[in-house]
Structure 1
């Protein structure tokens, strides 16, 4: 009874501040679903749903302890929600390499990491593939430079398609899961022109408008600046090259490229202020009409139009919900910016797309927003002076940039393995220009477009964007502008997020206790060890840890996998430099002596023929199907399809992508063979799947 009373008193002190915890518990359930090693069945989902209902019913009438029941109820509901979403988006996925005719409707245009234009096609038709086995969407990279067809048009080409690939290393980013929720069942490329089969009809009108606006901006503003203008206006990044993207990331200005809270806030704030000032300049209107509320409606309408034009990604959706809640509060004469508004935005995003919880955009945007709201609320409540009136906007920008940068830095480092050191400087030089020059100029161009005078606004907009790109280029070129960090363990980010959420949401001195798990998470990160050996799921690349960094078995080919491995190591070297660390000559068979075993890499039949005699304890990784030339263990592509990528620890422990990701809707692992069991025994560890 005393414990119950103490808990009740503790929660009573949080009265009015408990609602922001509800999306946290919902998100915990969603995260639990994605961490499972096997897909729950209908019985498990039914039991969880029943438990959630019973706990929610039990919370009714228990005012003091209701929160203790609502928490697990929401977590159970979150797990069921994520499972329902995963089943609802279920669509066919290729399970073989396809080459042949591809026909479909252009649903989107973007740019790949290799700077190639890509088409996403829906309403797909594949030659000799039954409709029930045809993916709902495929993505094709264009190797030849050609005219990009408009969204909604039906096109046809001849393409190579592959199923979405698994993690580059066990426990890494699983692209198959990402593709599952986007209903991408095949990815590949075409080396021949894409033919227009049918002009776009009435479908995808908004997508065509986005593409038309983006193309119009790039026609009027030349070079990378035009691509930048299209990106911040429509969310279309296809006109921004990899060199510009790299400079923006290394200077911590990549958030200016994404249509997020900054852009939505600046746009709606400018419209709100402009409409309010305009009405106030007309005394009869200012005295008779609710000018502030009319301005809020106008700003909300502008935000909704921006959301539709931008394509509605997670960050833009979250930003619109935030401004919608804020202006709704203005209409209801309530306080506009609170953690409750952040919680409402999180609820809406998670209910619509639970899988977004795992995305960098969701994590970084909500981390920045929650931290900004908490810090400025604390400054307001404690009446902290920010100096004279003329200095306050400058200090607000400095504080905002510092707080947002600090809040997003751990998540950015975990996902992108880099820490920019001059991000605060770059943001102080760029964010005011975005707010005072670029956004107002874009609104001016939109207003003048009907009379053909949009270049007056676009010219000013170009000046501002040129300045931002120049800042990015200079700052990213500073010595020591970027540090590289290794990838954290699976529990680092969840533990860090839990601690910081407690520190932000909880009221009172006890909130400082949240810093302890956050510090423990950072300590776990700093002591994390990387695998000694990594083997790609195709068998085409091996990486072993050497004193100077990871050594790769080849200097060309498998470039994407090599890039991921080196980034996760926190290693800035490229593939060629990493391959030079391998001691053998280029013409010799790559061999590495491990703890109790020897690893040989046979690229093709010519290299495999060099393995004339191999002994017990040798592991030969081959890129072609073959019989073992001796008593060694031969890992062929067929075996690797059973395991996925492989990691070996310093003690000989084995982890496969199959064991890390488990049997889920999006994995479709093949049954294991005798070679996998022999591999486990050879490495001295039985690791159940």
Structure 2
């Protein structure tokens, strides 16, 4: 009580400053330290959030800068900025400006140091070369197939492959699968192991970077039926998570659900995604509901919220407890235990752990009687996560979850929304219901717009109707589906779970049918070519300013957001993309067509088509063979063609395979070409006028994207890059 009074008095004392002092004058005044001192003084509760932003900036700088020399230079410059602020600004007149600059500079340096130390501690180099043979291994984790065409994945500790055991992630074909191959099993089999793959091209998912931080030294596949070590049995190895997932799927099937509905129920309870049809999984993604199939903040928040509400209502009915125990504290403790249990039950994946940490902070605020959700609390949660997993800053789950929560808080705390909620209190039941529905829809639209750049950046595909679909799906999941599944499991203990299972079946079926309807609607998904980091960074800078600042000055963030939005809307695919193995190529052509070498049937081909902004189902209609390029001159070994603008033509020479050619003819062809692409190393006599992307260069620097008009070339591994992966 004393603390809340002190806080209120502090805000009251500072309030006249914001009303009497002109915080924002002309744009010229923004360079005045006095202007910033007044602005910071009027915002005592908004300053801490920027420390999390500065820490994120330092982490991103570590990934963007090539090596230790540049990292040390960044740390040194941060120290100079921090020290310079102490020298340049008078501690009496500009104490807040001085402290803000110093704190943000040190936070940025701390972010870079954190991820650097984390990389040194957990970073695992991949094996130097592919290998195959018989190896013994112990299964650490099993990820069952999701969809009809995917394989089961095993994370194993392999013995005998290197001088010391190493962790590998291997695919298990269905013909070699066995129910006994569960975590803890020791087995042996013929394995093919290869180094973790690099990204196919710049902007694509980078398995090698993820494997580096996860301690994965190799990937590969099982080549023979594993021989289970003596003494291992299903009864000993199968854990509660697997047994519970089977029980949920069985009971849902008995209630009349289709396989995908039963599998979705198992996913919501245990995180086990086995059994979801590939078409239904894609429909959920196109409808903007993919987050329901990945245990994260929504599910953890639902479990904790339900537990907290039940605990508060139940404990309030017991007079002895209600009069002697702080109910918010007791309810928060029970909710925290339920959240921890749910996190462990669903496999304790990193995104779930991060969501659980953030939820624990919210519960702490509730137990102390503070505001449950605020930008300050979000910043504390982000800093807490980054202290342990700084590499999470570049992961889609971290970015999407925190962006969504920030959008919710920013909308709900906006002055127009606050005034609207005040007016709703005097309305009738129908008016309040309509008003809250409108607020829910507006919040959903803002969330979708906030997540759109990140979704397109990471996945190149985004559902258009997500705001409308989530308006129904999220409340249905949190208010009906999750409680019904919990009720069904509890009542099953006394044999009365059938009604709850049937209701859960109908609810999940409704969500799936909604996803199918939205995914089948015209223009349900938007596809985007590879999005430059600069575009997303510009939008993020403006979004941070709008979300974390207040007053008229926050609208300055609209300029970078609008500019970034225009860049996103007008974004186009690079003129030429070459995969890291040199076997696949995508060349942007006239009429929106993409000309590909070897098509989009392979993994690399599909990845290049995706980076070109082509939907998988439209690859055949929107792509053509490279030999069909207008004016292409091809033989058995090479294709020569002219691309680019008519006033700045670019002559390409593309090898059609690893076949041999006569050195003299190749030398002449290279001299007449601007760019040469080949999967095999070419002789040094091949010297094109501009760029040579042969097997030697591609194996060293990875796949590439090329812009003909600016002559800009980007590689997966930039020149001088010394990151471990």
Q: TM-score, normalised by structure 2?
A: 0.82
| Structure 1 CA distance for aligned equivalents of residues 437 and 231 of structure 2 | 51
Match of 1:541 among 563, 573, 584: 584
State the match for 2:4 in structure 1: none
Match of 2:639 among 591, 612, 631: 591
State the match for 1:617 in structure 2: 672
1:254-653 equivalent positions in 2, closer than 5 A: 254-378=290-414, 379-380=417-418, 383-386=421-424, 387-389=427-429, 391=433, 394-451=437-494, 453-547=496-590, 548-555=592-599, 559-572=602-615, 574-584=618-628, 591-594=639-642, 595-605=649-659, 615=669, 616-618=671-673, 621-624=677-680, 636-651=694-709, 653=711
Q: TM-score, normalised by structure 1?
A: 0.86
How many aligned residue pairs are there? Answer: 660
- 3-state SS of paired residue (2:35): helix
Match of 1:175 among 192, 204, 207: 207
Range with bigger deviation, 485-494 or 628-637: 628-637
Kindly indicate whether residue 152 of structure 2 is the aligned counterpart of residue 118 of structure 1: yes
Match of 1:34 among 40, 53, 63: 63
Pair 302,508 (structure 1): closer, same or farther in 2 beyond 3 Å: same
Pair 294,635 (structure 1): closer, same or farther in 2 beyond 3 Å: closer
**Following TM superposition, by how much is the alpha carbon of 1:32 offset from its aligned partner in structure 2, in angstroms?**
0.6
Structure 1: runs of 5+ lacking an equivalent: 668-689
Range with bigger deviation, 287-296 or 403-412: 287-296
Contact 2:575 2:587 in 1 (8 A): yes
Could you list the per-position Cα deviations for residues 530-565 of structure 1 after superposition, in whole angstroms to 9, with x for gaps in the alignment?
3222222112112211113211011365x2222222
Contact 1:55 1:73 in 2 (8 A): no
Pair 261,646 (structure 1): closer, same or farther in 2 beyond 3 Å: closer
- 3-state SS of paired residue (2:626): coil
**Following TM superposition, by how much is the alpha carbon of 1:641 offset from its aligned partner in structure 2, in angstroms?**
1.0
**Following TM superposition, by how much is the alpha carbon of 1:347 offset from its aligned partner in structure 2, in angstroms?**
0.9
Match of 1:192 among 188, 207, 224: 224
Let me know the Cα RMSD of the aligned residues. 3.6
Kindly indicate whether residue 117 of structure 2 is the aligned counterpart of residue 90 of structure 1: no
Could you list the per-position Cα deviations for residues 14-53 of structure 1 after superposition, in whole angstroms to 9, with x for gaps in the alignment?
2122111111111110011110122448966885797699
Range with bigger deviation, 69-78 or 628-637: 628-637
Contact 1:163 1:186 in 2 (8 A): yes
Could you list the per-position Cα deviations for residues 481-522 of structure 1 after superposition, in whole angstroms to 9, with x for gaps in the alignment?
122122221211122111111101112110010111111222
- 3-state SS of paired residue (1:193): coil
| Structure 2 CA distance for aligned equivalents of residues 371 and 525 of structure 1 | 20
State the match for 2:170 in structure 1: 139
| Structure 1 CA distance for aligned equivalents of residues 267 and 369 of structure 2 | 35
State the match for 2:110 in structure 1: 77
| Structure 2 CA distance for aligned equivalents of residues 406 and 361 of structure 1 | 17
Contact 1:553 1:601 in 2 (8 A): no
Range with bigger deviation, 387-396 or 482-491: 387-396
- 3-state SS of paired residue (1:600): strand
- 3-state SS of paired residue (1:580): strand
| Structure 1 CA distance for aligned equivalents of residues 557 and 678 of structure 2 | 49
Structure 2: runs of 5+ lacking an equivalent: 1-28, 254-258, 643-648
| Structure 2 CA distance for aligned equivalents of residues 138 and 234 of structure 1 | 22
Pair 652,23 (structure 1): closer, same or farther in 2 beyond 3 Å: closer
Contact 1:598 1:617 in 2 (8 A): no
| Structure 2 CA distance for aligned equivalents of residues 592 and 292 of structure 1 | 73
**Following TM superposition, by how much is the alpha carbon of 1:283 offset from its aligned partner in structure 2, in angstroms?**
4.5
**Following TM superposition, by how much is the alpha carbon of 1:527 offset from its aligned partner in structure 2, in angstroms?**
4.0
Range with bigger deviation, 224-233 or 367-376: 224-233
